[in-house]
């Protein structure tokens, strides 16, 4: 489903994905450097037709929420979302990518994740948000750990990247961990 919520941060906001965003996705996701860390390295290049089909599926989905990550100046940077939302178990899988390569390693992904987790554990009342990350994606792993995700296991030969079978980590953050971190952060801000 397309989230109607707009989540505001210090330097960016998460806004609903629109059909007008699809050409950006095609440009980003057909870039080999962007695709490298995504589960798309073996997929054919995306077409407008394929992206239109994805968008229509997303609009009709009841267990996926995706936002556009937008810098304060209105520049679109990438997407972040919750997939496979299961209200019974209170679980979802997070996905994120920054498609604007000049915005990599500037903290935008971290800020987007923090906004998303606040929504997931607040508005949606989820208990667990998990993700899968390539074992050698050191920048991504550091970012996720700084947001409270913990490594829970190594999935051997989990996916194929450029013809090679690679391992992935499963990482997760629980609602109680998130609440404790938020309380600690508030305490640090209030300290003289």
Q: Which residue bears the tokens 């089909």? A: 53
pLDDT digit string (tens) for 108-154? 999 999 999 999 999 999 999 999 999 999 999 999 999 999 999 99
What gap in Å lies between CA 174 and CA 65, rounded to an integer? 19
What gap in Å lies between CA 166 and CA 36, rounded to an integer? 12
**Residue 69 pLDDT greater than 70, yes or no:** yes
CB 109 within 8 A of CB 141: no
What gap in Å lies between CA 95 and CA 78, rounded to an integer? 11
State the pTM of this model: 0.90
Q: What is the DSSP letter of 113?
A: H
> In the structure, what pLDDT confidence band is assigned to residue 94 with cuts at 50, 70 and 90?
very high
Q: What is the dihedral of CA 181, 186, 188, 192, to 10 degrees?
A: -170
What gap in Å lies between CA 81 and CA 115, rounded to an integer? 11
Q: Which domains does the chain have, with CATH numbers?
A: 7-190 (3.40.630.30)
Q: How many CA atoms lie within 13 A of 122 on its CB side?
A: 9
């Amino acid at each position: 489903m397309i989230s109607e919520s707009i989540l505001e941060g210090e330097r960016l906001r998460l806004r609903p994905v629109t059909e007008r965003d699809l050409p950006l996705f095609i440009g980003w996701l057909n870039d080999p450097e962007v695709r490298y860390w995504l589960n798309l390295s073996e997929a054919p290049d995306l077409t407008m037709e394929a992206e239109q089909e994805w968008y229509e599926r997303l609009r009709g989905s009841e267990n996926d929420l995706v936002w556009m990550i937008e810098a304060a100046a209105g520049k679109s940077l990438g997407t972040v979302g919750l997939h496979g939302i299961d209200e019974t178990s209170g679980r979802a899988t997070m996905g994120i990518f920054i498609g604007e390569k000049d915005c990599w390693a500037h903290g935008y992904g971290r800020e987007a994740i923090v906004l998303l987790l606040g929504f997931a554990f607040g508005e949606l009342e989820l208990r667990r948000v998990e993700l899968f990350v390539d074992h050698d994606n050191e920048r991504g792993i550091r970012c996720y750990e700084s947001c409270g995700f913990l490594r829970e296991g190594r999935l051997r030969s989990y996916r194929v990247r450029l013809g090679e079978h690679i391992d992935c980590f499963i990482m997760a953050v629980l609602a109680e961990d998130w609440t404790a971190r938020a309380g600690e952060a508030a305490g640090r801000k209030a300290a003289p």
